[in-house]
Amino acid sequence: MVAAIPIPTFHYERDLISKGFEIIAGVDEAGCGAWAGPVFAAAVILPLHSRIRLIRDSKRLSPAQRMRVIEQIKKKAIAWSVGVASQEEIDHINIRQASFLATRRALENLGVAPQAVLSDGFTIPEISVPCTSVIGGDRRVKSIAAASIIAKVHRDILMEKMDEIHPGYGFADHKGYGTKKHQEALRKLGPCSIHRKSYEPIRILL
Protein backbone atom coordinates (compact mmCIF):
# COMPACT_ATOMS: atom_id res chain seq x y z
CA MET A 1 0.00 0.00 0.00
CA VAL A 2 1.40 3.40 -1.00
CA ALA A 3 1.54 5.94 1.81
CA ALA A 4 -0.42 9.14 1.27
CA ILE A 5 1.64 12.21 0.41
CA PRO A 6 1.29 14.68 3.30
CA ILE A 7 -0.34 18.02 2.51
CA PRO A 8 1.25 21.06 4.22
CA THR A 9 -1.03 22.98 6.56
CA PHE A 10 -1.03 26.20 8.60
CA HIS A 11 -0.93 24.24 11.89
CA TYR A 12 2.47 25.61 12.95
CA GLU A 13 1.63 29.15 11.88
CA ARG A 14 -1.64 29.02 13.85
CA ASP A 15 0.21 27.72 16.91
CA LEU A 16 2.60 30.69 16.81
CA ILE A 17 -0.32 33.08 16.34
CA SER A 18 -1.95 31.61 19.46
CA LYS A 19 1.24 32.54 21.33
CA GLY A 20 1.02 36.18 20.27
CA PHE A 21 3.02 36.27 17.02
CA GLU A 22 1.24 37.87 14.08
CA ILE A 23 3.70 37.87 11.15
CA ILE A 24 5.35 34.50 10.50
CA ALA A 25 7.78 33.71 7.70
CA GLY A 26 8.55 30.25 6.37
CA VAL A 27 12.06 29.70 5.01
CA ASP A 28 13.74 26.95 3.01
CA GLU A 29 16.79 26.47 0.79
CA ALA A 30 17.58 24.85 -2.54
CA GLY A 31 20.85 23.53 -3.89
CA CYS A 32 22.71 22.33 -0.80
CA GLY A 33 23.50 18.98 -2.40
CA ALA A 34 24.55 20.32 -5.80
CA TRP A 35 28.16 20.24 -6.96
CA ALA A 36 27.93 23.54 -8.82
CA GLY A 37 26.27 26.91 -8.52
CA PRO A 38 25.10 28.95 -5.55
CA VAL A 39 22.72 27.93 -2.81
CA PHE A 40 19.37 29.75 -2.79
CA ALA A 41 16.98 30.40 0.08
CA ALA A 42 13.51 31.90 0.11
CA ALA A 43 11.33 33.48 2.76
CA VAL A 44 7.54 33.68 2.45
CA ILE A 45 4.80 35.23 4.58
CA LEU A 46 1.43 33.75 3.63
CA PRO A 47 -1.94 34.92 4.94
CA LEU A 48 -3.86 32.13 6.64
CA HIS A 49 -6.84 32.74 4.38
CA SER A 50 -4.80 32.04 1.25
CA ARG A 51 -6.04 29.03 -0.67
CA ILE A 52 -3.31 27.58 -2.89
CA ARG A 53 -4.13 23.92 -3.44
CA LEU A 54 -0.90 22.84 -5.09
CA ILE A 55 1.56 23.94 -2.40
CA ARG A 56 3.77 20.94 -1.63
CA ASP A 57 7.42 20.19 -0.99
CA SER A 58 9.00 21.46 -4.22
CA LYS A 59 10.62 18.06 -4.87
CA ARG A 60 7.16 16.48 -5.14
CA LEU A 61 6.05 18.78 -7.95
CA SER A 62 6.89 18.68 -11.65
CA PRO A 63 8.61 21.73 -13.20
CA ALA A 64 5.32 22.73 -14.84
CA GLN A 65 3.48 22.48 -11.51
CA ARG A 66 6.14 24.55 -9.76
CA MET A 67 5.91 27.28 -12.38
CA ARG A 68 2.14 27.33 -12.06
CA VAL A 69 2.00 27.46 -8.27
CA ILE A 70 4.84 29.96 -7.81
CA GLU A 71 2.78 32.62 -9.55
CA GLN A 72 -0.08 31.99 -7.12
CA ILE A 73 2.27 32.14 -4.13
CA LYS A 74 3.81 35.44 -5.25
CA LYS A 75 0.37 36.91 -5.94
CA LYS A 76 -1.18 35.92 -2.61
CA ALA A 77 1.82 36.26 -0.27
CA ILE A 78 2.02 39.18 2.12
CA ALA A 79 5.73 39.21 1.23
CA TRP A 80 8.31 36.93 -0.36
CA SER A 81 12.01 37.20 -1.10
CA VAL A 82 15.09 35.27 -2.19
CA GLY A 83 18.62 35.18 -0.78
CA VAL A 84 21.72 33.69 -2.40
CA ALA A 85 25.16 32.55 -1.25
CA SER A 86 27.70 32.06 -4.02
CA GLN A 87 29.82 29.00 -4.71
CA GLU A 88 32.83 31.03 -3.51
CA GLU A 89 31.09 31.63 -0.18
CA ILE A 90 30.18 27.93 0.00
CA ASP A 91 33.85 27.00 -0.48
CA HIS A 92 34.94 29.57 2.10
CA ILE A 93 32.50 28.91 4.96
CA ASN A 94 31.00 25.45 4.06
CA ILE A 95 27.58 24.63 2.67
CA ARG A 96 25.64 24.64 5.95
CA GLN A 97 26.87 28.08 6.94
CA ALA A 98 26.32 29.32 3.38
CA SER A 99 22.71 28.09 3.45
CA PHE A 100 22.21 29.97 6.74
CA LEU A 101 23.73 33.06 5.12
CA ALA A 102 21.40 32.79 2.12
CA THR A 103 18.44 32.40 4.48
CA ARG A 104 19.39 35.46 6.51
CA ARG A 105 19.68 37.41 3.26
CA ALA A 106 16.21 36.24 2.22
CA LEU A 107 14.78 37.38 5.55
CA GLU A 108 16.56 40.73 5.28
CA ASN A 109 15.12 41.19 1.77
CA LEU A 110 11.50 40.75 2.90
CA GLY A 111 9.51 43.95 2.61
CA VAL A 112 7.70 43.03 5.85
CA ALA A 113 9.61 42.21 9.02
CA PRO A 114 8.52 38.83 10.45
CA GLN A 115 7.99 38.36 14.18
CA ALA A 116 8.82 34.64 14.03
CA VAL A 117 10.36 32.21 11.55
CA LEU A 118 9.56 28.60 10.68
CA SER A 119 12.49 26.72 9.15
CA ASP A 120 12.91 23.32 7.54
CA GLY A 121 15.13 21.12 9.69
CA PHE A 122 17.54 23.67 11.17
CA THR A 123 17.26 26.67 13.49
CA ILE A 124 18.70 29.67 11.65
CA PRO A 125 21.43 31.31 13.74
CA GLU A 126 22.05 35.04 14.09
CA ILE A 127 18.54 36.28 13.37
CA SER A 128 16.73 38.71 15.64
CA VAL A 129 13.39 36.87 15.94
CA PRO A 130 12.46 33.44 17.31
CA CYS A 131 13.04 30.56 14.89
CA THR A 132 11.28 27.20 15.12
CA SER A 133 12.80 24.31 13.19
CA VAL A 134 10.44 21.64 11.88
CA ILE A 135 11.80 18.29 10.71
CA GLY A 136 10.27 17.64 7.30
CA GLY A 137 8.93 21.18 7.33
CA ASP A 138 8.72 21.41 3.55
CA ARG A 139 6.21 18.54 3.66
CA ARG A 140 4.26 19.71 6.73
CA VAL A 141 4.25 23.51 6.94
CA LYS A 142 2.56 25.57 4.25
CA SER A 143 4.81 28.64 4.42
CA ILE A 144 7.96 26.47 4.39
CA ALA A 145 6.66 24.49 1.40
CA ALA A 146 5.94 27.77 -0.40
CA ALA A 147 9.51 28.92 0.32
CA SER A 148 10.88 25.63 -1.00
CA ILE A 149 9.08 26.21 -4.30
CA ILE A 150 10.34 29.78 -4.70
CA ALA A 151 13.93 28.83 -3.84
CA LYS A 152 13.87 25.85 -6.21
CA VAL A 153 12.38 27.72 -9.16
CA HIS A 154 14.71 30.70 -8.86
CA ARG A 155 17.77 28.47 -8.57
CA ASP A 156 16.68 26.32 -11.52
CA ILE A 157 16.28 29.42 -13.70
CA LEU A 158 19.79 30.54 -12.82
CA MET A 159 21.28 27.11 -13.56
CA GLU A 160 19.57 27.09 -16.97
CA LYS A 161 21.32 30.39 -17.69
CA MET A 162 24.60 28.86 -16.48
CA ASP A 163 24.11 26.12 -19.06
CA GLU A 164 24.37 28.76 -21.78
CA ILE A 165 27.46 30.32 -20.22
CA HIS A 166 29.15 26.98 -19.50
CA PRO A 167 27.95 24.60 -22.25
CA GLY A 168 28.67 20.90 -22.15
CA TYR A 169 28.01 20.19 -18.48
CA GLY A 170 24.24 19.81 -18.76
CA PHE A 171 23.39 22.33 -16.05
CA ALA A 172 19.94 22.93 -17.57
CA ASP A 173 19.11 19.26 -17.00
CA HIS A 174 20.66 18.34 -13.64
CA LYS A 175 20.96 21.86 -12.14
CA GLY A 176 24.46 21.12 -10.86
CA TYR A 177 23.73 17.89 -9.00
CA GLY A 178 26.08 14.93 -9.28
CA THR A 179 24.27 12.91 -11.92
CA LYS A 180 25.99 10.43 -14.22
CA LYS A 181 25.82 12.96 -17.07
CA HIS A 182 27.44 15.60 -14.87
CA GLN A 183 30.20 13.22 -13.78
CA GLU A 184 30.95 12.29 -17.40
CA ALA A 185 31.13 15.97 -18.37
CA LEU A 186 33.49 16.67 -15.48
CA ARG A 187 35.82 13.89 -16.56
CA LYS A 188 35.83 15.24 -20.10
CA LEU A 189 35.92 19.00 -19.49
CA GLY A 190 37.18 19.39 -15.93
CA PRO A 191 35.55 21.80 -13.44
CA CYS A 192 34.41 25.27 -14.50
CA SER A 193 34.22 28.49 -12.51
CA ILE A 194 30.86 27.72 -10.87
CA HIS A 195 31.86 24.31 -9.49
CA ARG A 196 32.23 24.07 -5.72
CA LYS A 197 35.96 23.50 -5.33
CA SER A 198 35.67 22.35 -1.70
CA TYR A 199 33.43 19.39 -2.63
CA GLU A 200 35.29 16.09 -2.74
CA PRO A 201 34.37 15.06 -6.33
CA ILE A 202 35.55 18.45 -7.62
CA ARG A 203 38.61 18.67 -5.37
CA ILE A 204 39.82 15.30 -6.67
CA LEU A 205 39.64 16.54 -10.26
CA LEU A 206 41.53 19.71 -9.38
Task: Write out the binding residues for a divalent metal cation.
Answer: 28-29, 120
Pairing verdict, β 116-120 and 131-134: parallel
- What lies within 8 Å, CB to CB, of 165 at 6+ separation is none
Task: Name 133's bridge partners.
Answer: 119
Closest CA to 144 of 20, 11, 27: 27
Distance between CA atoms of residues 56 and 12, nearest Å: 15
Dihedral sign of CA atoms 82, 112, 116, 61 in order: negative
Residue 152: which of 140, 142, 144, 164 has the closest Cα? 144
CA 107 vs. chain centroid, Å, equals 13
Binding positions are 28-29, 120
